[in-house]
Amino acid sequence: MLQVKAIPIFDDNYCWLLSDKKTKTVIVVDPGEATPVLSVLSQQQHTLSAIFITHRHRDHVAGIGALLEYFNVPVYGPKQEDITGVNHKVKEQDEITITGFPHKFKVFDVPGHTRGHVAYYTENSLFCGDTLFSGGCGRLSESTPAQMLTSIKKLIRLPADTNMYCAHEYTADNLIFAATVESENVEIQKRIKTVARLRAAQLPTLPSTLQVELETNPFVRCHTPIVKAAAERYANRVLKTEVAVFSVIRHWKDVF
């Protein structure tokens, strides 16, 4: 059975520790910092088996070198990005099998936040870095709105009950924006209350599910009349395509 543990790092990042209850095989996703990962591994008496990287930004990769000093393990990362320590470059349609880990991982190319960003999917669990956030999406650092929207659409075609593990605790802020875009969306209002209770208890708001995102995330809902109308009011012009709506919503969030 796949077990996933959030390891908080920096101000609002998570790296994810994946383990199998039976084999105790462990994978870490996006270790931007090594010390917290080493501490959890020591506490649980686990040995690291692999590292997965979604993209090249420092808050996702800075811990690779220190972890490799302790564990001689494969490091998987996007083929389109040059990341020190990555020794297995992956791309769309690749499947990853880790010795002792009973779950295969599918790789998706999801450019948008960076040009080579990838995501990993297994057993109804999606590790998507900074592409799709809980209630939001990543900033367009190196790609176009069309590329990011295509990447998001690719991810939300996965089963609706997929657990979505992104890399930042942005949910509360994202939902404030979502409620501004869709002020009458009851599901957003319910989710804001749930998230407030979790954060008050110092608990992660993740994972989300793709079904929840379909109901509450404006970047997933750019095809809906209500989000389109909100984007047109903000832009003060008619928006003829879903990409145009997405582009306006992303700019709106950037300056929100």
Q: Chain centroid to CA 229: how far?
A: 27
Is the pLDDT score of 25 beyond 90?
no
- The burial class, CB within 10 Å (0-12 / 13-18 / 19+), for 93 is exposed
Rounded average pLDDT over 109-120: 97
What number is the average pLDDT over the span 49-75? 98
Single-letter amino acid code for the residue at 183: S
Rg (CA), the chain: 18
Which pLDDT score is estimated for 159? 98
**What mean pLDDT comes out for the span 199-227?**
98
Residue 1 has pLDDT above 80, yes or no: no
The CATH number, out of the four listed (3.40.50.1860, 2.40.10.220, 3.60.15.10, 3.40.190.10), of the domain defined by the range 2-255: 3.60.15.10
Confidence of residue 20 (pLDDT cuts 50, 70, 90): confident
pLDDT at 219: 98
Distance CA 33, CA 15 (A): 9
pLDDT at 24: 78
Q: Residue 247 has what pLDDT? A: 98
User: Residue 18: its pLDDT value, please?
Assistant: 96
> Is the pLDDT assigned to residue 164 strictly greater than 90?
yes
Whole-prediction pTM: 0.97
pLDDT at 239 over 80: yes
Checking DSSP bridges between strand 132-133 and strand 125-129, what pairing results, if any?
A: unpaired
Domain ranges of the chain: 2-255
